[in-house]
Amino acid sequence: MLSDALTALKGVGPALAKKLENLGLYRVEDLLFLLPLRYEDRTQLVRIGALVAGNRCLVTGEVLLSETAFRGRRNLLVRISDGSGQVTLRFFHFSRQQQAQFQAGVHVTAFGEVRRGNSGFEMIHPEYRVLREGQSAAMSDALTAIYPATEGVQQGRLRNLTDQALRAMSEAPPAELLPEDVTTKLGMPSLADAIHYLHRPPPDADIEQMLAGRHPCQQRLAFEELLAHYLSLRNVRALAETDDATALTRGQETVGHFIGELPFKLTGAQQRVVTEILDDLQQAHPMMRLIQGDVGSGKTVVAAIACLKAIACGVQAAIMAPTEILAEQHWRNFSDWFRSLGIEPAWLSGSQKAAARRDALAAIADGSAQLVVGTHALFQEGVEFANLALVVIDEQHRFGVHQRMALRDKGVDDAGHPHQLVMTATPIPRTLAMAAYADLDTSVIDELPPGRQPVTTIAVPDTRRGEIVERVRAAVAAGQQAYWVCPLIEESDVLDYQAAEKSYAMLTEALPELRVGLVHGRMRPAEKDKGMQAFKEGLIQVLVATTVIEVGVDVPNASLMIIENAERMGLSQLHQLRGRVGRGAAQSHCVLLYKPPLGRIAKERLAVLRDTNDGFIVAQRDLELRGPGELLGTRQTGLPDYRVANLVRDAELMPQVQMSAEAIRTSSPERAAAIVRRWLGDAGRYGKV
């Protein structure tokens, strides 16, 4: 029964089944995992005389009067009393049939939120039942579940359907897929007991604990769901290890010479990560490695070493970045680093002129372009590689799954799949990385190059804007450059942001002796790049920009960053922007301008940035304040919403999930497959590259 389609349930036809699909419901068993959002207590009647505004409760009483009133719009007012007091039931939408039900003297029960009206307490559009003569008010024997809603499906219908599913479960309980030693160790109830409790909690259930997601029954389901996702990721990894790839075993001398000729010494962390990557590249199955490194930690040169290894083995490498500015910066860096080796990287972007694009495509196709740097243009139709063996993706969370797969597929040939190296400057807390990237090996560059000084950060109300302008003047007078970042391009009536164009006009007027530039996302790429290049070359001293400069701009002489409306931005974005300074020898500063008064979360956010430059601490606090979606870029990655688990709340479960997953995969592959199937259905995996 549990594996049957929903149409096996009483009252479910094709039309209702279609609506239920909006809630991810296809089989009877799916209803068991549609957990309530909250609960209401309809287990006891509340005397009308004891009602408190704001509470939701169940009352019963005799109808004293029923009338239609016209107060702005038509209202049906039904006043009931139980002898201890009176309450008015107010309906804005009603039929003649409903109106006729409320005859004086009949008894009704009603459930709803108590509000204070003009003539005493009232309930607006309560759920109600008219009682037959001699019938007493029916109370629930369990707390009433409130489920996620979808158009055309009422709560009563969902409760009826889950009742049917729970009855089916009692006749044929779902298989216990967690090993007994795990549930015993963690003190978890059986799956059937946990599901029943969460759908129909007893009157004495700890509602606060359940709303916080901390009840043992919720943790039992969360654990299994996290386990399913983790197992699915490990399956992806295991499948990848059965794929063939070109083993890149030559080129040690070339790579060693390149590292020795760099104008700087690699940090210990960079050396460690380079060793991990080079070991991977020598294997005959595809590398799948994620490099995490804070802003300025030197990920790009590590990627360059990986690319050089591929080129030295006679195959092609490609590096894809999310913006033209970042991609072009990589192209310039790689060109400078590789020029002495006779390697000229090809450039491919959407804004290229037709002739340049034709030349680049021809060089990529015949293999004379050993390294290709570009944007999304790399995986578009018409781009053919001769022998692509290494794919590097920068700021990986900014690309959709299909985009990353499309680039990988450009390199699939008789030799197998290309090696993959993905990089992010958004540090990911360990427990979250366990859940989200279990299909990747992870390397962390947790050391900044020598000589880098931490950026000092202060938060200042925008009423002190004049002082900050003077600070910009002083920084430029000392030979430094400054960024002034604004969230919007133009003034907005809806959002009271300091627009970039307004700030540009203000700074141009206030600092006439300085060269002030403007860069924003609505400019043509060539115009935008020209402005960025002028800033990099020192032709512009103060650059007013939108968050287009968040990723990848490297100007060592810039030592001052001012961020307007910092209270409106997320922690990770603010940390990325701050990382644009502090790249030279001079002490750098970041000023967070905010519009007072600050809310609690905004205060916490700005305090984190004042207190630390550690990207992992910033990421952990961002995770706690905003959840994993923004941090991982899940709108792009395809990471699904969890039905029960919460990656922040349930992070402490992940180490045990990881241990259990490895044990189950080894001892019982069939059980592992069943866990994945129960929670992820036939999809198996949500598209991680």
Concatenate the DSSP letters of all residues of 35-65 into one string.
--SEEE--SSB--GGG--TT-EEEEEEEEEE
Q: pLDDT at position 587, please? A: 93
Of 221, 189, 201, nearest to 38 (Cα)?
201
b/e map of 143-156 (b: 16 or more CB within 10 Å)? bbbebeeeeebeee
Among candidate residues 243, 305, 241, the one with its CA nearest the CA of residue 277: 305
Question: What is d(CA 425, CA 65) in angstroms, rounded to the nearest whole number?
Answer: 67
Coil, strand or helix at 132: coil
Instruction: Give the per-residue pLDDT at 152.
Output: 86
Q: Which residue intervals of 418-541 are DSSP H helices?
A: 430-436, 465-477, 500-510, 525-536
- Nearest Cα residue to 593 out of 689, 676, 506: 506
Q: What is the pLDDT, as a whole number, of residue 637?
A: 42
Cβ neighbourhood burial of 502 (10 Å; 0-12, 13-18, 19+):
middle
d(CA 381, CA 566): 40
Which regions of the chain are under pLDDT 70? Answer: 396-404, 488-498, 548-553, 626-641, 682-689
Locate 1 and state its tokens.
């029964």
Give the closest residue to 471 by CA, choosing from 556, 612, 460.
460
pLDDT value of residue 682: 60
In Å, how far are 114, 115, 117, 134, 193 from 83, measured between CA atoms?
18, 20, 20, 18, 41
Measured CA to CA, the distance from residue 614 to residue 578 in angstroms comes to 12
From the list 38, 34, 319, 188, the residue with the least C-alpha distance to 656 is 188
Cis amide linkage into residue 189, ω under 30° from 0: no
Please give the helix or strand (H or E) that residue 70 lies within, else none.
strand 56-71
Quick one: pLDDT at residue 396? 65
- State how far the Cα of 515 lies from the Cα of 507, in Å rounded to an integer: 10
Residue 326 confidence (pLDDT): 81
Polymer length of the chain: 689
Token pair listed for 324: 């033209």
pLDDT of residue 685: 42
Structural domains of the chain in order of their starting residue, each with its CATH number: 6-40+147-205 (no CATH), 48-139 (2.40.50.140), 252-445 (3.40.50.300), 456-612 (3.40.50.300)
Q: What's the rounded Cα separation, in Å, for the pair 18 and 389? A: 45
CA distances for 393 relative to 131, 346, 419, 506, angstroms: 66, 16, 11, 39
Q: Name, in order, each residue with C-beta under 8 angstroms of 96's C-beta and a sequence gap of 6 or more.
A: none
Asked if 355 and 375 touch (Cβ cutoff 8 Å), the reply is no
Count of other CB atoms within 10 angstroms of residue 423: 22
Question: Nearest-CA neighbor of 248 among 291, 178, 308, 324?
Answer: 308
159 vs 218: CA distance, rounded Å:
19
Q: What pLDDT shows up at residue 523?
A: 82
Short-list 637, 629, 616, 546, CA closest to 295: 616
Rounded distance, CA 656 to CA 75, Å?
Answer: 57
Q: Using CA atoms, how far apart are residues 82 and 219, in angstroms rounded to an integer?
A: 42
Q: Give the residue carrying structure tokens 């009682």.
A: 131
Tokens of 412: 């699939």
Q: What share of the chain is helix, strand, coil (3-state, %, to 5)?
A: 45, 20, 35
Question: What is residue 208's three-state secondary structure?
Answer: helix
Round to whole Å and give the CA distance between 320 and 377.
9
What CA–CA distance (Å, rounded) separates 193 from 189? 6
What angle separates helix 669-680 from helix 654-667, to the nearest 10 degrees? Answer: 130
pLDDT at 520: 84
The model carries a pTM of: 0.72
